[in-house]
Amino acid sequence: MYKDLDTENDFTISKDDTYQQQLRTIASLPDYDRVPEDRFLERFYASLSDDKAPNNRVLPHSDLFYVRAALEARFPDRKFTMDEVRMLVEEMYGVTYS
């Protein structure tokens, strides 16, 4: 059944290449270009280690992050807030995110 199974060579865990390490580093940097209210990941991770109630542990829907990234790629001189993105998505497509 396990004939010709070379466990030493068949089950290797690949290490992150340099590009993946750089992406992880960039993704974990604080985003000081945004207003503090829109630094969701920083607030979320900070809230995990504090003693406050979990009511501030809400992240926007991931679609909104993609829409914001697309808008900012199209208009590089402009930073969009999540409230603006929510409003635009609702206005253009009739989709409401809470």
Tokens 């290449």 locate to 17
Three-class DSSP labels, 5-53: CCHHHHCCCCCCCHHHHHHHHHHCCCCCCCCHHHCHHHHHHHHHCCCCC
User: What is the residue extent of each domain of the chain?
Assistant: 7-93
pLDDT of residue 74: 93
Residue in the block written with tokens 């690949």:
14
pLDDT value, residue 27: 62
Rounded-to-integer distance, Cα 67 and Cα 85, Å: 7
List the chain residues with pLDDT less than 70: 1-16, 23-30, 52-59, 98
The pLDDT value given to residue 1? 47
Q: How far is CA 18 from CA 15, 25, 45, 96, in A?
A: 9, 11, 25, 39
Model pLDDT, residue 78? 92
pLDDT recorded at residue 77: 93
pLDDT, position 43: 74
- Given this model, what pLDDT does residue 75 score? 92
How many other C-beta atoms are found inside a 10 Å radius of the C-beta of residue 75?
10
